[in-house]
Amino acid sequence: MLRRFFAVRQRTEEMLMQKKISKIPFKGTPEQEARLKAVIAECQGDQSRLMHVMQQAQGIYGYLPYEVQVMIAEGMGVPLEKVYGVATFYAQFALSPKGKYNVSVCLGTACYVKGSQDVLDKICAGLGVEAGECSADGNFSVEECRCIGACGLAPVFTINGEVYGKVTADDVPGILAKYQNA
Amino acid sequence: MYRSHVLVCGGTGCTSSHSPEIIEALNAQLKEKGLESEVQVVRTGCFGLCSLGPIMIVYPEGCFYSQVKVDDVPEIVEEHLLKGRIVRRLLYSETAQAEEIKPLNETNFYKKQHRVALRNCGVIDPENIDEYIGADGYQALAKCLTELTPEEVVKIVSDSGLRGRGGGGFPTGRKWSFTAANKADQKYVVCNADEGDPGAFMDRSVLEGDPHCIVEAMAICGYATGATEGYVYVRAEYPIAVERLQKAIKDARAYGLLGKNIFNSGFDFDLHVRLGAGAFVCGEETALMTSIEGNRGEPRPRPPYPAVKGLFGKPTTENNVETFANIPQIILNGPAFFNTIGTETSKGTKVFALGGKITNTGLVEIPMGTTLREIVEDIGGGIPNGKKFKAAQTGGPSGGCIPAEYLDTPMDYDSLLKIGAMVGSGGLIIMDETSCMVDIAKFFLKFTVDESCGKCTPCRVGTRRLLELLEKITDGNGTMEDLDTMEALCYYIKDNSLCGLGQTAPNPVLSSYRHFKDEYIAHVKDKKCPAGACKNLTQIVIDAEKCKGCTACERKCPVGAISGTVRNPHVIDQSKCIKCGACIETCRFGAISRK
């Protein structure tokens, strides 16, 4: 039933170019499930901590697949629609997995004025991935992000949290090569 | 006692350029030389001059080392800390001009600043509660709880003239008095640290550099309004800020500065941290509270105002981080300390995040009423690369632009509103002649379209239609009627949207249209982008004198628009060119450019 709800939602969402539920099969381990259960147990009974649980779940699994959303909904005693609603509202929640290396390009004002769009274009071209996508081999995903607060170093992008500041489009191939050959 | 203190910036900017590794290397080197009992290394909050990071200051000399690398550490330890010889090559150039080192607060960047909210940033170790207490920390709270009644606290804040620093500019004292006047079994204090304006980072810096002052201010607010619980809603994108704030709360609890019966006064207060998840609309007060409750962060209609029915349906006072950061100083020094700074209607200081095309990017705190010219030319050090100042964007996606003819406008709430801009959260992005104002307006609108929560139609549909109009214009397909439609749509969205996001979303378009109408008309009538930023309105041309006829570009062009013979200049057929720019990158002689 809910699968069908998701399938319908998914089609509408695709039309709106919004978040998509991943088609990649779910591969959760019992350890991950135990960790999630522990987080839920800690927050049970306080529905205002739903976002906290979802943030923790994303930390455990890397994204929020259907199966994890079901676990959260049941554990927290809230409808699945609500979990899905919150997951699709906030930019931080991912419904599909990220690449081994997640490249996040800041498109905040300070970075944009200093040419971060060119940097993003160059990264996408270099990896053959569109922003918001993951490469077929699962190695690289690229996302646009809002200000990370390092405006003094504009333009900036991060790869798995490592910050590259004051970059130009010309610096991109050299930086990417470090990860492509890793 | 240490004979020397080394302060290293641990803000996000400097951490990104490896300041933690520098601290590690410093400690290792000091240990090796046996200096660890003589020299203390302190990781502080942000110094403000982020463009020169990582920053290190060595006291007692006050040497300001900029752009320090890990490899420079052995030299600093050996030469400066061991032998007492300053490493001149690493000194911030302006302080090193004469024989004597110029004190930091006499440099152009710091001279005109007046630090109240950022008082402790870059001075104390934010993770050490004792350092905060040593800098008069928690004395304001003690004064409130032991000497003042809640009414007196509200009166001091009212008399100070402090207005909300998050963008609205509502008098803080009056806000507090509303909540105080409502009777309820439970009231809340909320700190808005969901700094959504892309390009502003003062709240982040305060939380990273001086988290205890927010804890203290919120407790004071709780006492004044009768609340016993507080929530800080922080962006998840600020991990360092979250970590330090959580540590601050833990330490304050351990010292009995949060919890039950604080200072034996019978007053209870405790704090919780809630993380945002990347939604700009959550900076709006009612949306933020909806989000804390664990829902999609959609705004609620007002009234009822939060002072009556806020978080979990209870009376709530919500203030921005920077507003709170001023509170302890106001309580300690009295309202006159604050209301003698600034202008008639805008008291005190304001922190601006200076960014974009300017030499000194970073955080500056200036008295209200300082002119934009002083910020750009004196503090900011002017526009780099010999370019000319074109406009400054204030208030981010909700604000407007200030063109060159208004450079002498004082920066305060009312003067900026008069010229169609706003103080907003304090983001101040400087643009030079290569920035296209239509493109910037489009950029902000793209942001608001993405961030519109979708609850009300004027904002959800209106901003999208507005963006489509702007895209039409920057693609070179706009008509003069489109400009009129655009303007009318802007006013419609402003008048009919539910919350602040929609009501202010058209501001960047309206203000750039007001001040740079010529530029819009050039896009529509002449199909030209005067700044050369809109790709579809530029032409790619080959300089015949520089072209060697190597044919590299001809082979690279995906649409076969380039033709020519070997060793003769090539030409681009403009009717075929798709302006992808592949030829510009291929050319080894720099003969191809966008015009």
- Residues from chain B that touch A110, judged by Cβ atoms under 8 A, are 198-199, 353, 355-356, 361, 429
Q: Are residues B166 and B45 in the same domain?
A: no
Q: Are residues B207 and B312 in the same domain?
A: yes
DSSP B379: I
Whether B142 is in a domain gets the answer yes
Mean pLDDT of residues grouped by 10 in chain B (595 residues)? Answer: 93 91 96 94 93 92 93 95 93 84 89 95 95 96 97 98 92 97 97 90 95 98 98 93 97 97 96 94 95 95 94 97 97 96 96 94 95 96 94 92 95 93 92 93 93 94 96 94 97 95 95 96 93 86 91 89 91 87 86 85
Q: Is residue A10 scored above 50 in pLDDT?
A: no
The rounded distance, in Å, linking the Cα atoms of A123 and B17 is 21
| All CATH 3.40.30.10 domain ranges in chain A, comma separated | 101-180
> What local confidence, expressed as pLDDT, does residue A19 receive?
64
Whether B297 is in a domain gets the answer yes
Q: Are residues B371 and B492 in the same domain?
A: no
pTM of the prediction? 0.90
The rounded distance, in Å, linking the Cα atoms of B501 and B49 is 31
Question: How many CB atoms within 10 Å of residue B94?
Answer: 17
Contacts of residue B84, defined as CB under 8 A and 6 or more positions apart, other chains included, come to: none
Question: How many CB atoms within 10 Å of residue B484?
Answer: 10
Query: pLDDT (tens digit, 9 = 90+) per residue, A19-77?
Result: 666 666 788 899 999 999 999 999 998 999 999 999 999 999 989 999 999 999 999 99
Last residue of a domain, one of B496, B526, B556: B526
Instruction: Assess contact for A158 and B12: CB atoms under 8 A.
Output: no
Q: Are residues B280 and B361 in the same domain?
A: no
DSSP B197: S
Chain B nearest C-alpha distance from A11 (Å): 18
Q: Are residues B545 and B501 in the same domain?
A: no
Q: Are residues B443 and B419 in the same domain?
A: no
Q: Are residues B165 and B310 in the same domain?
A: yes
Q: Are residues B79 and B29 in the same domain?
A: yes
Whether B501 is in a domain gets the answer yes
Closest CA in chain B for residue A170: B585
Instruction: Assess contact for B66 and B107: CB atoms under 8 A.
Output: no
Q: Are residues B386 and B464 in the same domain?
A: no
Q: Are residues B371 and B327 in the same domain?
A: no
> What local confidence, expressed as pLDDT, does residue A22 receive?
65
B152: which 2 tokens? 């007196």
B35: which 2 tokens? 């200096």
B96: domain CATH number is: 3.40.30.10
B556: domain CATH number is: 3.30.70.20
Looking at the structure of chain B, the number of domains it has is: 5
Q: Are residues B456 and B551 in the same domain?
A: no
Q: Are residues B274 and B301 in the same domain?
A: yes
Whether B17 is in a domain gets the answer yes
Question: How many CB atoms within 10 Å of residue B184?
Answer: 15
> What local confidence, expressed as pLDDT, does residue B101 receive?
85
The rounded distance, in Å, linking the Cα atoms of B592 and B585 is 9
- Residues from chain B that touch A109, judged by Cβ atoms under 8 A, are 197-199, 355-356, 393, 396, 427, 429, 443-444
- Residues from chain A that touch B295, judged by Cβ atoms under 8 A, are 82, 86
> What local confidence, expressed as pLDDT, does residue A12 receive?
44
Backbone angles phi, psi at B363, to 5 degrees: -100, 135
Last residue of a domain, one of B284, B305, B338: B338
- Residues from chain B that touch A112, judged by Cβ atoms under 8 A, are 198, 443
Parallel, antiparallel, or unpaired for β B389-394 and B267-275?
Answer: unpaired
Task: Say which residue the tokens 């349906």 belong to.
Answer: B313
Whether B278 is in a domain gets the answer yes
Closest CA in chain A for residue B201: A149
Whether B211 is in a domain gets the answer yes
Alpha helix stretches (DSSP H) within B388-456: 413-418, 437-451
Query: pLDDT (tens digit, 9 = 90+) per residue, B270-285?
Result: 999 999 998 999 999 9
Chain B nearest C-alpha distance from A68 (Å): 17
ipTM above 0.95, yes or no: no
Domain boundaries A101-180, CATH class: alpha beta
Give residue B563's domain range: 539-594
